[in-house]
């Protein structure tokens, strides 16, 4: 056995974790996975609000799931994260990163000293004053991120790294077959939807939407004046398939269509932006993930709306699965946690 590492995803409705062996390999081996539910309000839009509750959930998850290591990689991807295309002078990456605070302050909503900055290179270009690197600036405001990290530390975890969620998804869903393709990743969580446009294996555009599957449940609950549990059950049974809705369920269907339409428009806008920026190179395929992508009829609706093939692959099919794999929860909810420990240095 090699080095073990756990991807830790602190979501709005649950804490999820995936433990792998040999994470540095393109196809690490999944050993175990699991989730522990969180009460409403403990985490909002990816930010821990009730640290004690989240810490207790992480401890419970480790006990119940039998995880063998407390070395974790955590993800960040919410409205407090900025991802933007920039060009910088071509220098060694360590020098580029050291220079970021001086080059990008005007792009940030806070002083550069209050943000964690990174640069993801995409290509080399020629500028007026010499060679340039074009790529993606990633900036995360420190304060809310540290709250999440401290909640994990209080549970006894040893955070090894914090990674941008879109990059984790990129590593998981990139493959040799997609090397010459353009891909749009659509990851729908409970409170956030992440869009990542890839050229081959390289992300060129990231968009984070402050909405997800839980918003549909909440909307149905309010429109029909029913409990969140009943609203979730109706959402799962009807989805966006009109033929499955009874007369009493029509209001739920209407809510689903209204909120899904917002996501569809964002997907189309992202595809158009990518195509314009990449010399009219269109998106070849759409890959959907996250619990919210399991809404009945959604994958087909996205494909029909965009005229691009859309799929929802099993995230565990992207890696090696141990024979004695054990875990709890739906595998489609584990995409982000798995991506955090796919192809990373242990």
Which is more confidently placed, 101 or 334?
334
CATH number at residue 126: 3.30.1490
**Residue 31 belongs to a domain:** yes
**Residue 199 belongs to a domain:** no
Q: Are 161 and 41 in the same domain?
A: yes
The separation between the first and the last C-alpha atoms of the chain, rounded to the nearest angstrom, is 13
d(CA 345, CA 23): 7
Q: Over the stretch 163-180, which tens digit does the pLDDT of each residue have?
A: 889 889 999 998 878 888
Q: Are 33 and 153 in the same domain?
A: yes
pLDDT of residue 2: 61
d(CA 94, CA 16): 32
Q: Are 115 and 232 in the same domain?
A: no
Confidence grade of residue 14 (pLDDT, cut at 50, 70, 90): very high
Confidence grade of residue 271 (pLDDT, cut at 50, 70, 90): very high
Q: Are 36 and 152 in the same domain?
A: yes
d(CA 305, CA 244): 20
| Stretch among 23-37, 45-59, 76-90, 179-193 having the lowest mean pLDDT | 76-90
Tell me the DSSP string of 158-181: EEEEEEEHHHHHHHHH--GGGTTS
- Distances from the Cα of 258 to the Cα of 157, 221, 239, 263, angstroms: 40, 14, 12, 9
- Distances from the Cα of 340 to the Cα of 10, 141, 191, 192, 283, angstroms: 12, 19, 19, 17, 25
Q: Are 22 and 167 in the same domain?
A: yes
pTM of the model: 0.91
Average pLDDT over residues 287-316: 96
Q: How many domains does the chain have?
A: 3
Q: Are 126 and 259 in the same domain?
A: no
Look over the chain and give the mean of its residue pLDDT values, rounded to a whole number: 91
Which is more confidently placed, 178 or 212?
212
Position 339 pLDDT exceeds 90: yes
Range of the domain at 257: 213-310
**Residue 225 belongs to a domain:** yes
Q: Are 132 and 277 in the same domain?
A: no
Q: Over the stretch 118-147, which tens digit does the pLDDT of each residue have?
A: 888 888 888 888 899 888 888 888 888 899
Q: Are 242 and 114 in the same domain?
A: no
Confidence grade of residue 1 (pLDDT, cut at 50, 70, 90): very low
Average pLDDT over residues 283-306: 96
CATH number at residue 272: 3.30.420.40
Q: Are 202 and 274 contacting, i.e. CB atoms less than 8 angstroms apart? A: no
d(CA 39, CA 166): 25
Average pLDDT over residues 20-31: 91
- Distances from the Cα of 336 to the Cα of 53, 137, 228, angstroms: 21, 21, 25
Q: Over the stretch 80-99, which tens digit does the pLDDT of each residue have?
A: 788 888 888 898 888 988 88
Radius of gyration of the chain (CA): 20
């Amino acid at each position: 056995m090699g080095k073990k590492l756990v991807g830790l995803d602190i979501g709005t409705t649950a804490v999820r974790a995936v433990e792998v062996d040999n994470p540095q390999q393109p196809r690490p081996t999944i050993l175990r996975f699991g989730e522990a539910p969180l009460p409403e309000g403990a985490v909002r839009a990816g930010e821990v609000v009730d640290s004690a509750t989240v810490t207790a959930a992480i401890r419970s998850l480790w006990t119940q799931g039998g995880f063998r290591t407390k070395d974790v990689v955590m993800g960040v991807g919410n409205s407090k994260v900025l991802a933007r295309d920039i060009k910088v002078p071509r220098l060694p990456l360590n020098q580029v990163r050291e220079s970021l605070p001086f080059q990008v302050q005007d792009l940030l909503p806070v002083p550069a000293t209050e943000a964690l900055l990174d640069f993801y290179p995409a290509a080399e270009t020629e500028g007026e004053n010499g060679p340039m690197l074009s790529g993606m600036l990633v900036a995360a405001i420190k304060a809310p991120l540290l709250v999440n990290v401290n909640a994990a530390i209080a549970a006894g975890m040893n955070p090894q790294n914090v990674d941008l969620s879109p990059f984790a998804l990129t590593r998981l869903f990139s493959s040799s077959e997609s090397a010459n393709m353009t891909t749009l990743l659509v990851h729908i969580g409970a409170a956030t939807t992440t869009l990542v446009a890839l050229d081959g294996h390289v992300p060129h555009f990231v968009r984070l939407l402050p909405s997800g599957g839980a918003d549909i449940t909440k909307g149905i609950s309010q429109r029909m004046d029913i409990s969140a549990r009943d609203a979730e059950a109706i959402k799962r049974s009807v989805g966006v398939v009109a033929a499955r809705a009874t007369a009493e369920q029509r209001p739920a269907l209407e809510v689903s269509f209204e909120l899904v339409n917002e996501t569809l428009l964002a997907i189309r806008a992202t595809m158009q932006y990518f195509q314009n920026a990449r010399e009219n190179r269109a998106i070849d395929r759409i890959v959907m993930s996250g619990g919210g992508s399991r809404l009945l009829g959604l994958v087909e609706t996205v494909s029909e709306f965009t005229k691009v093939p859309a799929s929802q692959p099993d995230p565990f099919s992207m890696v090696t699965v141990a024979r004695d794999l054990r875990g709890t929860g739906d595998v489609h909810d584990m995409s982000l946690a798995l991506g955090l420990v796919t192809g990373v240095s242990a």
